[in-house]
Amino acid sequence: MLEKVTATRYITPLREGGSLPGLVEADDLGTYVMKFTGAGQGRKTLVAEVICGQLGRRLGLRVPELVGLELDPVIGLGEPDEEVQDLLKASGGLNLGMDYLPGSLGFDPLAFEVGAAEAGRVVWFDALINNVDRSWRNPNLLVWHGELWLIDHGATMIWHHNWPGARQSAAKPYDASDHVLAPFGPDIAAAAAELAPLVTEELLTEVAADVPDEWLVDEPGFDSADALRRAYVEVLLERARTVTEGITLGAPTKDKPSQAPEWLAARLHRKAVK
């Protein structure tokens, strides 16, 4: 299970995302980006954050540490924004915390170079979890101490919003043409050879066990939290076996290695030939 800490001070809301996460301090002296159970996207967003974030970490990708954050809504009484007050009131109890990376910068594909091997690992991982939110419009990548970090996995595993059709949905190909790292020539084959054998039933079971029971209860069609965890394991395990063949990056050409915007692809190409 996730380590659990208690939020002791609400610092400020972070308005970059639609779920309105907040920056908080906790009783372990750490600073975290808190994502709330009471946010409009619901608790499945937090389930996705845990399963995909922990899986990414176990596969060797850089994902900030995740913790369970206990919240007493009273700590936000000094926050003047009514929307934030309502969010805090609706989120008493266990929420999700992501380790804050002070001084990190949002990823800029024109300012930070990514090698084909690393780009391949990220694209393959995003295909596995069906991440629809790592495009050039919204990279959800940070650069910290000169290294690439993956954040915000709430918009993944879209099949878990409709479990009766989950297996069919999860079997669909992954179009990475819009992926922010597509212009860097990701080596998908090498990534698959490295990562796919690591995605075992044992690993996925351990990752799913990190999701708190209270975020899994009352799911239609499942009689227990463990039964729902098992469903995540089965779908991801099957997808790991088949996803590589379904990854598409668009039709590359000399001047346009992906379906990224022409301004991005062209400038990346000019940098490469200098």
Domain check: are 267 and 131 in the same one? yes
Q: Are 198 and 59 in contact (CB under 8 A)?
A: yes
- Region for residue 157 given its phi and psi (left: phi exceeds 0; alpha: psi -120 to 50; beta: otherwise): left
* Total number of domains constituting the chain: 2
Pairing, β 174-175 against β 247-248: parallel
The pLDDT of residue 234: 97
Is the pTM for the entire model greater than 0.85?
yes
Instruction: Provide the residue range defining the domain that includes 176.
Output: 105-273
CA–CA separation, 249 and 178 (whole Å): 8
Q: Regarding beta strands 147-150 and 22-26, do their DSSP bridges make them parallel or antiparallel, or are they unpaired?
A: unpaired
Q: What pLDDT does residue 150 have?
A: 98
Among 10-19, 37-46, 246-255, where is mean pLDDT lowest? 246-255
Among 73, 99, 125, which residue terminates a domain?
99
Rg of the Cα trace of the chain?
Answer: 19
pLDDT of residue 192 exceeding 60 = yes
Gap between the Cα atoms of 129 and 184, Å rounded: 21
Residue where a domain terminates, one of 99, 130, 156? 99
> pLDDT tens, 47-57?
999 999 999 99
Q: Within this chain, do residues 201 and 252 fall inside the same structural domain, yes or no?
A: yes
The percent of residues above 90 in pLDDT, for the chain, comes to: 74
Q: What is the pLDDT of residue 253?
A: 47
Regarding whether 113 and 76 lie in a shared domain, the answer is no
Q: Are residues 173 and 76 in the same domain?
A: no
Mean pLDDT for the stretch of residues 162-176: 92
Buried-state track 231-260, b at ≥16 Cβ within 10 A, e below 16: bbbebbeebbeebbeebebbeeeeebbbbb
Chain segment 18-48, per-residue pLDDT in tens: 678 999 999 999 999 999 999 887 899 999 9
Q: Is the pLDDT of residue 164 over 80?
A: yes
- Structure tokens given for 67: 């913790």
Does residue 155 sit in the same domain as residue 265?
yes
Task: Give residue 256's pLDDT.
Answer: 47
Give the domain-ending residue among 43, 70, 99: 99
Q: Tell me: the pLDDT tens digits for 65-109?
A: 999 999 998 987 878 888 888 999 999 999 999 999 999 999 998
